């Protein structure tokens, strides 16, 4: 049985080459490549098609070789031995189905795709074939995150691709929200460190009048004093001008009466100094390498995390106005802070809903029956219950 | 026309000018153009009173009229802009007081209350008219102040010196008026101010046809562009005629007597103390420029004020993203652009007219001009790394001159954190050094301004465009106005629907039309959650969906659903809701007043009680009165804040045409 050993030799060698290449067992060999492999004993007599053909035929018969067709001629790829063993015992139809599924590799094949490609349109018999293959341990059913109700099959020894599983952020077809959240928090932390210079803010005594602050302290602290005052602002615009003497102070550089309540997120923490223009801010790639190289998340996750996935999280953060794009990199929006690990979500939805502008703070801005409200109607300015509540309980009610 | 706007404006007109005016306004708003007999018939107001009320409304420019050359009757129609501007009265007065000083604020506030006023009348009002016997004018002014306090409800400011910021002489008055006119806060009122835009266009066309196209044919490939050019030319000519210019509008030169000079000098520095803005051509005590003609009629230019409000908005946005120092620089930049034609709020009308001169070119300002407009007390180094550790620099023009001066010109030393000793105030310093220090300050400050501007131009919101070599900066205000709108929408969507909804909306704005699945994967959310949010947003008209059937069967299963966010309708929707909110809140003021507070308010307003509230009201009544003031203020402040929303959504971009007449 010298010839069998020769074919096995060929199979092993080719498998070695395939495994050492990027594509793994997916690697497709053309004739020249196979001949290349046969460069030493005992395969050194294989020099051309005529000597190679019998070996290939034998492998094909043993279902170890898949023959593919290209415009440039035939080419081949190899099947793992374990799978080949199962394949040999399949019926013709089963084998057809198996080959369709096999050709899709990690992407998996949707049941309708299998039907189309094999021409077996009959659902019950298709079900039967698939059942048989599954029983034989050759294929498995996988869940496609993008199309939850499309039955998808793939080879049992393959791990489904990111396309099917949804990538690092999915766990058994379900979105791993806590991972996304932690990762976002981490990115905010990292980017903030990289994009701002923190400076301890000078403590301002409450008793200081704005004049003193403006004379001695720098402008930011004066601004802070204003915003601190702004939080207590109740009387709207009238309270702002009478606090300082016009003679002594320069014209106010900006509108003092902030119409919106100061954003608690942006007014806390130490002073942030910006880098000068032209500074290189972290990019998705550098954020990715920071996350994966610093042992922050589980190693398995870190290995599978791609730059694109990081970019996706970064995009979401940009839409959430936590990051902003500058010079092709990212910087945190001024005042955005990260949450301490384990800290409760300090921005519950209700809290978020309180902020807004003149309209959304007024009762009408969030009135569920605004379209029914009108003079002479059942609902009008006099009968409105929201106004009652709003006037009695202050703005936050 | 929008019923909600009509409702709001009617309330405003009623509050400002009484029921009669409001009735006329409502009828005209509902019917469009009417002549006097028709108006008489519809309002059922006696003709004499009707005429009075119309005159009042015309004086406040709330009505336009159209009188044709022929025997046709005069028609009246509503000027929405002016009616809505009633609500901005206080805001504008405050704005100008902040910018140009108390005196200017008061003057503008007067003019706003009068609608328009002639220079002569204003002089009378201030007791400065040549025929009035008084020459001090101070007690008139005092009386006037208290009167205004009542009208506007502004609490009297105890700290304010009575003399400070008051116009006491004719020369000051003229200087102030002239300054406000030059800056565009005031504009002349001419015949054409009373005519609606559409009528003016018709008139222009008639004139052009009569003059240049005797055949009356203005169409065709050759004639049409020529006609358009002529029309634009004529319009521009009119605009120039109507605009204030110091050359044309001076009363006979040299008639100005400097008889008041002595007294002017006594308090000459007081009105100036308020503004140290070096770009402002200051009201000099020795000002002896020509007087304005007494018969010149002026009114307040609301558009100009909107422009400044817009600048303030943008500044606040910059402050949020880049900190106060950069915001101050940006404010100075916007100020230096203010008077350029290209910086004005371009309306659709202007665009339709197709002025080619300022298209595509952004208004720009040089760094030096920014420096001129920058408040010298701003510490430019405070928010940027590097120079931050350097000591505060002053450009030597401000009040800090002499007090603070540069300590270290060596950045390395400063960065090492070594602080040099404060040298005592110019003791040993020869004056030469001082001069060079001032000069060094100046250069340093310019560099830092450039730094801030660079940082601004880097920001993704596109606050400005930097031309490094020319050392100038341009601002694309049109785009920024749109950014303001988007930001405002985001704030509202955030407040109403939460963070995730805002995320989805921003994504749709950026990406265009998307499927549910794409939205879910891009926003890292479960498809179920995304669906809930999208449905809610669709229900409230924020996002919409487009169906794209894959085949002719149009089955839901064979259809692609694309979600999208169209800003235009959403802005309109929010705008309408804001109108309604303002109207309801104003109505609520009335409801509250007529409720439990009625009795006490009436008592407090009785002539015998007024001024002696302390003795004549019981403590319960005082308590109730205080409560009423709080309620009223809460409501009115809310109206003012809603008005801010309207300004952003409707007026800052100039895109909105809903008020055009």
Chain B residues inside the 8 Å CB shell of A199 = 388
pLDDT for residue B25: 92
**Identical fold, A2-78 and A174-202+258-346:** yes
Domain ranges of chain A: 2-78, 85-165, 174-202+258-346, 358-393
Using 50, 70 and 90 to split pLDDT, how confident is the model at A1?
very low
Chain A residues inside the 8 Å CB shell of B378 = 219, 253
**Backbone φ, ψ for residue B151 (5° rounding):** -65, -45
**Cβ proximity of A29 and A75 under 8 Å:** yes
What is the average per-residue pLDDT within A83-102?
82
* H-type alpha helices, B193-222: 197-212
Chain A residues inside the 8 Å CB shell of B102 = 246
Distance CA B354, CA B224 (A): 14
Strand-pair partners of B366: B472
Distance CA A386, CA A379 (A): 11
Q: Considering chain A, what is the average pLDDT of its residues? A: 71
Q: Is B606 on the interface with A (CB under 8 A)?
A: no
Q: Do B276 and A250 touch (CB under 8 A)?
A: yes
Q: Which of A177, A272, A334 sits opposite B320 (nearest CB)?
A: A334
Domain ranges of chain B: 3-87, 91-301, 348-475, 479-565, 570-650
**Cβ proximity of A176 and A300 under 8 Å:** no
Chain length of chain A: 397
The DSSP output letter for A75 is: E
**Identical fold, B3-87 and B479-565:** yes
Distance CA B283, CA B289 (A): 11
Q: Is B644 on the interface with A (CB under 8 A)?
A: yes
What is the average per-residue pLDDT within B235-242?
82
Q: Do A334 and B323 touch (CB under 8 A)?
A: yes
The alpha-carbon gap from A136 to the nearest alpha carbon of chain B, in Å, equals: 35
State the complex-level ipTM. 0.75
Distance CA A254, CA A184 (A): 34
Using 50, 70 and 90 to split pLDDT, how confident is the model at B137?
very low
Residue B507 pLDDT more than 90? yes
Looking at CATH, the fold of the domain delimited by A174-202+258-346 is given as: Arc Repressor Mutant, subunit A (1.10.10)
Q: Do A315 and B517 touch (CB under 8 A)?
A: no
Residue B330 pLDDT more than 60? yes
Residues B4-52 pLDDT 10s: 888 899 999 998 898 999 999 999 988 888 888 898 988 888 889 999 9
Distance CA A96, CA A117 (A): 9
Kindly state the tokens that stand for B21: 């005016």
What is the average per-residue pLDDT within A160-167?
69
Q: Is B277 on the interface with A (CB under 8 A)?
A: yes
pLDDT for residue B225: 85
Q: Considering chain B, what is the average pLDDT of its residues? A: 76
pLDDT for residue B341: 60
Instruction: State the pairing for strand pair A329-332/A323-326.
Output: antiparallel
Q: Which of A219, A277, A319 sits opposite B325 (nearest CB)?
A: A219
Give the CATH number of domain A85-165. Answer: 1.10.10.10
Q: Do A253 and B331 touch (CB under 8 A)?
A: yes
Residue position matching structure tokens 């060929």:
A10
The architecture in CATH of the region B3-87 reads Orthogonal Bundle (1.10)
What is the average per-residue pLDDT within B613-622?
82
Q: Do A246 and B160 touch (CB under 8 A)?
A: yes
Distance CA A295, CA A121 (A): 50
Kindly state the tokens that stand for A351: 């809290």
Residue B395 pLDDT more than 70? no
pLDDT for residue A4: 53
Chain B residues inside the 8 Å CB shell of A357 = 488, 491-492, 495, 641, 644-645
Please identify, in words, the CATH class of the domain defined by B479-565: mainly alpha
**Of B337, B654, B648, nearest in space to B464 by CA:** B337
Q: Is A2-78 a CATH 1.10.10 domain?
A: yes
Chain A residues inside the 8 Å CB shell of B526 = 174-175, 177
**Cβ proximity of B179 and B280 under 8 Å:** yes
Residues A326-340 pLDDT 10s: 888 898 888 777 776
Smallest CA–CA distance from A236 into chain B, residue: B637
Q: The pTM is what?
A: 0.73
Least confident range from A273-282, B23-32, B553-562, B569-578: namely A273-282
pLDDT for residue A73: 74
What is the average per-residue pLDDT within A215-225?
40
Residue B356 pLDDT more than 50? no
Q: Do A246 and B383 touch (CB under 8 A)?
A: no
Q: Is B637 on the interface with A (CB under 8 A)?
A: yes
Q: Is B622 on the interface with A (CB under 8 A)?
A: no
CB pairs A-B closer than 8 Å: 255
pLDDT for residue A230: 39
């Amino acid at each position: 049985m010298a010839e069998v050993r020769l074919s096995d030799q060929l199979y092993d060698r080719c498998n070695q080459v395939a495994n050492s290449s990027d594509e793994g067992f997916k690697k497709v060999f053309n004739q020249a490549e196979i001949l290349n492999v046969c460069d030493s004993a005992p395969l050194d007599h294989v020099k051309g098609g005529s000597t190679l053909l019998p070996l290939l035929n034998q492998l094909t018969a043993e279902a170890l070789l898949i023959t593919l067709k290209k415009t440039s001629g035939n080419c081949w790829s190899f099947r793992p031995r374990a799978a080949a063993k199962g394949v040999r015992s399949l019926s013709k139809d089963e084998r057809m189905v198996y080959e369709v599924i096999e050709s899709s590799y990690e992407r998996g094949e949707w049941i309708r795709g299998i039907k189309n490609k094999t021409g077996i349109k009959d659902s019950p018999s298709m079900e039967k074939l698939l059942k048989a293959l599954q029983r034989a341990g050759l294929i498995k059913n996988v869940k496609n995150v993008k199309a939850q109700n499309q039955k998808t099959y793939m080879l049992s020894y393959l791990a489904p691709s990111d396309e099917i599983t949804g990538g690092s952020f999915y766990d058994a077809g379900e979105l791993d929200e806590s991972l996304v959240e932690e990762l976002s928090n981490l990115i905010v932390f990292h980017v903030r460190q990289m994009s701002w210079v923190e400076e301890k803010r000078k403590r301002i005594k409450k008793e200081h009048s704005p004049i003193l602050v403006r004379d001695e302290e720098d402008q930011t602290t004066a601004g802070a004093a204003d915003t601190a005052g702004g939080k207590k602002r109740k009387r709207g615009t009238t309270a702002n001008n009478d606090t300082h003497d016009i003679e002594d102070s320069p014209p106010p550089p900006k509108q003092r009466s902030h119409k919106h309540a100061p954003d608690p997120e942006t007014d806390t923490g130490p002073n942030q100094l910006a880098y000068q223009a032209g500074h290189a801010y972290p990019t998705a790639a550098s954020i990715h390498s920071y996350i994966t190289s610093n042992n922050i998340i589980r190693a398995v996750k870190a290995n599978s995390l791609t730059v694109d996935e990081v970019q996706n999280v970064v995009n979401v953060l940009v839409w959430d106005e936590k990051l902003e794009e500058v010079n092709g990199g990212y910087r945190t929006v001024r005042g955005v802070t990260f949450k301490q690990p384990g800290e409760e979500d300090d921005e519950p939805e209700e809290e978020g809903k309180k902020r807004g502008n003149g309209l959304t703070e007024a009762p009408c801005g969030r009135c569920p029956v605004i379209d029914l409200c009108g003079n002479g109607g059942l609902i009008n300015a006099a009968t409105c219950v929201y106004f009652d509540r709003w006037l009695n309980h202050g703005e936050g009610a | 026309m929008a019923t909600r706007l009509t409702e709001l404006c009617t309330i405003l007109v009623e509050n400002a000018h009484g029921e009669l005016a409001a009735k006329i306004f409502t009828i005209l708003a509902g019917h469009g153009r009417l002549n006097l007999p028709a108006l008489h018939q519809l309002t059922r107001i006696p003709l004499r009173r009707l005429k009075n009320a119309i005159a009042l409304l015309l004086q406040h420019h709330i009505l336009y009229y159209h009188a044709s050359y022929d025997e046709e009757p005069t028609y009246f129609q509503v000027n929405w802009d002016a009616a809505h501007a009633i609500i901005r009265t206080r805001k504008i007065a405050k704005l100008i007081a902040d910018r140009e000083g108390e005196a200017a604020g008061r003057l503008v506030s007067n003019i706003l209350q009068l609608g328009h006023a002639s220079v002569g009348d204003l002089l009378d009002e201030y007791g400065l008219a040549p025929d009035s016997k008084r020459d001090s004018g101070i007690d008139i002014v005092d009386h006037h102040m208290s009167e205004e306090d009542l009208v506007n409800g502004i609490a009297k400011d105890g700290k304010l010196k009575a003399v400070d910021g008051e116009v006491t002489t004719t020369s000051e008055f003229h200087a102030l008026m002239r300054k406000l006119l030059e800056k565009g806060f005031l504009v002349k009122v001419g015949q054409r101010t009373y005519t609606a835009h559409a009528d003016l266009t018709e008139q222009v066309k008639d004139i052009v046809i009569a003059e240049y196209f005797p055949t009356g044919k203005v169409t065709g490939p050759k004639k049409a562009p020529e006609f358009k050019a002529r029309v634009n030319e004529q319009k521009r000519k009119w605009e120039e005629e109507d605009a204030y210019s110091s050359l044309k509008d001076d009363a006979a030169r040299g008639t100005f007597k400097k008889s008041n000079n002595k007294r002017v000098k006594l308090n000459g520095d007081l009105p100036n103390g308020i503004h140290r803005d070096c770009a402002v051509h200051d009201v000099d005590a020795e000002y002896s420029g020509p007087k304005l003609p007494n018969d010149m009629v002026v009114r307040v230019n609301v558009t100009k004020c909107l422009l400044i409000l817009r600048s303030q908005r943008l500044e606040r946005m910059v402050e949020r993203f880049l900190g106060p120092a950069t915001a101050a620089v940006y404010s100075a930049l916007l100020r230096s652009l203010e008077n350029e034609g290209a910086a004005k709020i371009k309306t659709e009308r202007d665009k339709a007219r197709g002025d080619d001169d300022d298209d595509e070119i952004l208004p720009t300002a040089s760094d030096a001009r920014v420096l001129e407009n920058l408040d010298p007390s701003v510490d430019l180094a405070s928010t940027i790394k590097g120079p931050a550790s350097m000591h505060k620099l002053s450009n030597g023009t401000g009040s800090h001159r002499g007090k603070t001066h540069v300590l270290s010109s060596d950045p390395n030393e400063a960065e090492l954190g070594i602080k040099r000793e404060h040298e005592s105030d110019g003791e040993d310093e020869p004056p030469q050094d001082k001069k060079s220090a001032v000069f060094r300050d100046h250069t340093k400050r310019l560099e830092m301004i450039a730094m801030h501007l660079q940082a601004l131009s880097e920001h993704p919101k596109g606050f400005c465009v930097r031309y490094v070599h020319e050392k100038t900066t341009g601002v694309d205000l049109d785009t920024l106005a749109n950014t303001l709108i988007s930001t405002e929408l985001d704030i509202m969507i955030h407040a109403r629907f939460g963070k995730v909804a805002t995320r989805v909306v921003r994504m749709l704005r950026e990406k265009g039309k998307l499927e549910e699945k794409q939205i879910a994967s891009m926003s890292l959310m479960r498809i179920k959650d995304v669906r809930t949010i999208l449905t809610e947003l669709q229900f409230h008209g924020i996002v919409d969906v487009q169906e794209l059937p894959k085949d002719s069967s149009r089955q839901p299963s064979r259809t692609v659903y694309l979600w999208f966010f169209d800003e235009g309708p959403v802005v309109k929707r929010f705008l309408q809701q804001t109108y309604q909110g303002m109207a309801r809140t104003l109505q609520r003021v009335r409801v509250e007043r007529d409720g439990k507070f009625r009795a006490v308010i009436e008592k407090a307003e009785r002539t015998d009680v007024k001024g002696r509230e302390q003795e004549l009201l019981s403590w319960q009544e005082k308590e109730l009165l205080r409560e009423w003031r709080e309620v009223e203020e809460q409501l009115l402040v809310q109206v003012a804040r809603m008005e801010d929303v309207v300004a952003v959504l409707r007026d800052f971009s100039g895109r909105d045409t809903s008020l055009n007449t």
